[in-house]
Amino acid sequence: MLEIKARDGLGRLGKLRINNKTIETPTIMPVLHPNPEKQTIPIDKIKKLTDVIITNSYIIYSNPRLKNTAEEKGIHKLIGFDKIIVTDSGSFQLSLYGSIDVDPLEIVQFQDRIGVDVGTILDIPTAPYVDREKAERDLEETLRRSKSAIELKEKNNYKMLLNGTIQGSTYMDLRRKSAEVMGKLNFDIYPIGAVVPLMENYHYKTVVDIILTSKEYLPTNKPIHLFGCGHPMLFALSVLLGCDLFDSAAYALYAKDDRYLTEHGTYHLTDLKDLSNFPCNCPICNEYSPRELFNMDKRNREQLLAEHNLYVTFEEINRIKESIKEGSLWELVELRCRSHPKLLEAYRQALKYIEFIEKFDPITKKSAFFYSGYESMFRPEVIRHKKRIHRIKFDKIYLSTVSRDVNKPYSENLNNLPSDVDILIKDDVFGLIPLNIDTIYPLSQNEIPELYDIEREHNKKFVEEFINKYKDKIMDIKTYNYYTSYYNSKENKNKVNKDVLRIDRMLQYQYGFKILDEGIIKNIVVKRSKNTGRIRNVLVIKDENEKEVLFTLRSHDNLLIPAKEGAKLLHKKIPFPKYRVVVDKSVQEFAKKGKSVYAKFVIDCDEELRPYEEVLVVNEEDELMGYGTTILNGRELMEFNYGVAVDMRGGVD
């Protein structure tokens, strides 16, 4: 029921189907009191902001009047909300009072009976840092309840979806076990539980460990809900780490305390009362001055503050969605993490999991890579380049440096002479940038400020290791000058076609294999644009007066996008299963016509694929059916069974 439409980091912009209603994720569910008289903001105003709310089934269950109405008319009538209603189970009350008066299966049955869209098991939220025996015992009980809840759901064919909460306190091996066991139980949504006390105490770093441990061992195709996270300051980082759903009681709880939320922290109304305007443009902040609100009676003030708090909460969600679309979520996170040192610490903790995160991070983005501090050195775009540079089979290497005033791409702004030597430029962030591939994202699509000396030390080890690995191929300046002067002489000038050499290196870097062999190289024609002078197309000469396009260089990232002949060439040169998505027989005819490949029909693939790579769609006999862009990575291609997997460019008949 989850389909990924766009992504960045582990973050995803998704379409989520719940009981025939579709919502866009990431999103936030405002927490409503089930008793309309106790709601801070009138339901009509909530309706305008959201398609999904969350309330508490245990409060309904424990109040005879609410229970009666819910059982007679259903929860949607009780709340006065006809879109998606999610309910919690009383677990939170359990964490507050130690025990509650309802049977774990009875509350699941009750949620289904009153027509809830997504219900929750009665999990045990174990507090942080309790002793291990308690954490283990609680988890065993939560897992027992989970199994019987799923059995109940399947036996009775519930229309209601079910939340299966991940517990395990602050023991990462228990969180892992929880994720592994729950992951096999076919819950519809996986909330991450018992993080509220950690967030209240600014232990964001531990929350990061919990989120990433859970993500690593949960199925990739299910939505993740971060239970109890309602402060907009925490959304960007949590989405980057793969959380899709949030709930907010914070908007109302903070308002009760005269606290004013912003996307980077909280103000008390007394600290704002002397400003002439609020630092916000929502309808409330436009209409009232801080002083007016300060002098207002408690009830009205609380409602208006809650409305503002909810506005900024949704505003931040919208900003996050936009940044996922344009591929700048990392930049937004790096900005947000400057709001509080504990958040920066949490971001740094997340970067320790970069090998895992990198597998999900798109290989290309619409917006440039911005360096915003030392943390940026550890981003997936950088880590990936430093691995993929070894995909190129270098023959002769010359290492060089350029001064800061030369603009990227260097290959367009340096006069390097013709030769068959690969020139690699030392780079403070990306380590080494081969001139022959330097137009590919993110090697020239980046902005890096002048760095501190200590930051410039960072890649020393990488460069040393590179030199060590390639020591037989690296030439000194004398040998390099000898080569260039040799190729620069009149009679030898045409011996190397620099453009073909460049395409050869770009293809190796993008696909990991040598695509242009000696046979085809002499028939390759590289076309440059008359306007920009940049390489646009790679063609192959078929016969005297016929050429066919193999690849087009996409302008914003300079990736080599195959045409049909290019796809055939890749298929011939790249060994199975690399760069392959294998589809079931039943959809072969669709694939051959270039129709989208749905995840359900993927039966095998290259497990190392990253999102947005150009892939070959084949059948089990490795016959080429078509080619396109994969939305999913290798692991997701196998785990998703809903939505589009490969956006096709064309079919091959």
Q: Which residues make up the interface to ligand GUN (CB under 6 A)?
A: 88-89, 91-92, 120, 123, 125, 165, 193-194, 196, 227-228
What gap in Å lies between CA 618 and CA 566, rounded to an integer? 15
Q: Which is nearer to ligand GUN, 196 or 539 (CB)?
A: 196
Between CA 513 and CA 508 the distance in angstroms is 5
Question: With respect to ligand GUN, which residue has the nearer C-beta, 108 or 583?
Answer: 108
Contact predicate 107/57, CB 8 Å: yes
Tell which residue, 154, 152, 150, 160, has the closest CA to residue 74: 160
- 103 catalytic residue (yes or no): no
Burial class (CB in 10 A: 0-12, 13-18, 19+), 77: middle
189 counts as binding Zn ion under rule CB under 5 A: no
**Residue 282 contacts which entry, Zn ion, ligand GUN, none (Cβ below 5-8 A, type-dependent):** Zn ion
User: Which CB sits closer to Zn ion, 339 or 367?
Assistant: 339
Which residue, 160 or 255, has its beta carbon nearer to Zn ion?
255
Asked if residue 49 binds Zn ion (CB under 5 A), the reply is no
For residue 435, the 8-state DSSP code is G
Asked whether residue 194 is marked as a ligand-binding residue, the answer is yes
CB 456 within 8 A of CB 429: no
Burial class (CB in 10 A: 0-12, 13-18, 19+), 493: exposed
* Interacting partner of 88 out of Zn ion, ligand GUN, none (Cβ under 5 to 8 A depending on kind): ligand GUN
227 touches 193 (CB < 8 A): yes
Give the interface segment with Zn ion, choosing from 198-206, 307-315, 396-404, 625-633 (CB under 5 A): 307-315
135 a known binding residue? no
CB of 227 to ligand GUN, least distance (A): 4
Strand partners of residue 18: 21
* 183-97-346-308 Cα dihedral, nearest 10 degrees: 100
Alpha-carbon dihedral 65, 67, 68, 69, rounded to 10 degrees: 90
Segment lying near Zn ion (by CB under 5 A), choices 184-192, 300-308, 396-404, 478-486: 300-308
Cβ at position 326, least distance to ligand GUN in Å: 32
Q: In terms of CB distance, is 89 or 630 closer to ligand GUN?
A: 89
Residue closer to ligand GUN (CB basis): 135 or 648: 135
Secondary structure in 3-state letters for 84-98:
EEEEECCHHHHHHHC
Most distant pair of Cα atoms in the chain: their distance: 97
Q: Which is nearer to ligand GUN, 228 or 380 (CB)?
A: 228
Write down the least CB distance from residue 286 to Zn ion, Å: 8
Rg (CA), the chain: 28
Q: Select from ligand GUN, Zn ion, none the partner in contact with residue 91, using the beta carbon and a kind-dependent cut-off of 5 to 8 Å.
A: ligand GUN
d(CA 570, CA 582): 15
d(CA 445, CA 331): 14
Least separation in angstroms between residue 299's CB and Zn ion is: 19
- The edge-to-edge listing of strands for the beta sheet with 614-618 is 597-598, 644-651, 624-630, 614-618, 580-583, 602-605
Closest CB 207 distance from ligand GUN, rounded Å: 12
What token pair was written down for 361? 């991070």
Among 49, 181, 280, 603, binds Zn ion (CB under 5 A): 280
- With CB cut-offs between 5 and 8 Å by kind, which of Zn ion, ligand GUN, none does residue 227 bind? ligand GUN
Measured from the CB atom, is 276 or 489 closer to Zn ion? 276
Closest separation between CB of residue 59 and ligand GUN, Å?
13
Stretch that binds Zn ion, among 44-52, 266-274, 278-286, 340-348 (CB under 5 A): 278-286
89 binds, among Zn ion, ligand GUN, none (CB under 5 to 8 A by kind): ligand GUN
Is 243 annotated among the ligand-binding residues? Answer: no
Q: Phi and psi for 540 in degrees, rounded to 5?
A: -125, 140
Binding partner of 285, given Zn ion, ligand GUN, none, CB within 5-8 angstroms per partner class: Zn ion
User: What residues contact residue 374 under an 8 Å CB cut-off, 6+ apart?
Assistant: 455, 458
Q: Are 630 and 611 in contact (CB under 8 A)?
A: yes
Select 191 or 434, whichever has its Cβ closest to ligand GUN: 191
| Of the candidate residues 161, 285, 443, 587, the single one contacting Zn ion (CB under 5 A) | 285
The residue with its CB nearest to ligand GUN is: 193
The item of ligand GUN, Zn ion, none sharing an interface with residue 228, based on CB under 5 to 8 Å by kind, is ligand GUN
Decide if 512 contacts 437 (C-beta within 8 A).
no
**Residue type at position 170:** T
Residues from 308 through 337 that contact Zn ion (CB under 5 A): 308
Nearer to ligand GUN, 89 or 459 (CB): 89
Rounded to a whole number of angstroms, the minimum distance from the CB of residue 275 to Zn ion is 13
Return the structure tokens found at 623: 């016959």
Neighbours of 463 (CB within 10 A): 15
165 touches which of ligand GUN, Zn ion, none (CB within 5 to 8 A by kind)?
Answer: ligand GUN
Question: Which one of 32-40, 274-282, 359-367, 483-491 is the stretch in contact with Zn ion (CB under 5 A)?
Answer: 274-282
Interacting stretch for Zn ion, rule CB under 5 A, among 73-81, 280-288, 448-456, 458-466? Answer: 280-288
Degrees to nearest 5, angle at CA 551 with 547 and 555: 125
Q: Is 282 annotated as a binding residue?
A: yes
DSSP-assigned letters across all residues of 208-248: HHHHHHHHHHS-TTS-EEETT---GGGHHHHHHTT--EEEE
Q: How far is the CB of 165 from ligand GUN (least distance, A)?
A: 5
Q: Choose, from 8, 51, 82, 88, the residue flagged as catalytic.
A: 88
Q: What would the 3-class secondary structure string for 585-636 be?
A: HHHHHHHHCCCCEEHHHEEEECCCCCCCCEEEEECCCCCEEEEEEECCCHHH
> For Zn ion, how many residues bind (rule: CB under 5 A)?
4
146 binds, among Zn ion, ligand GUN, none (CB under 5 to 8 A by kind): none
Instruction: List 427's β-bridge partners, or say none.
Output: 431
- Residue 251: CB minimum distance to ligand GUN, A: 15
Task: Compute the least distance from the CB of residue 40 to Zn ion, in Å.
Answer: 15
| Residue 293 interacts with which of Zn ion, ligand GUN, none, CB < 5 to 8 Å by class | none
Q: Compute φ and ψ for 426, nearest 5 degrees.
A: -65, 135
Rounded to an integer, what distance in angstroms lies between the CA atom of residue 279 and that of residue 513?
54
List the one residue from 143, 152, 185, 282 that touches Zn ion (CB under 5 A).
Answer: 282
If one asks whether residue 152 binds Zn ion (CB under 5 A), the answer comes out as no
Annotated binding-site positions for Zn(2+): 280, 282, 285
Annotated binding-site positions for substrate: 123, 194
Active site residues: 88
**What are the residues binding Zn ion (CB under 5 A)?**
280, 282, 285, 308
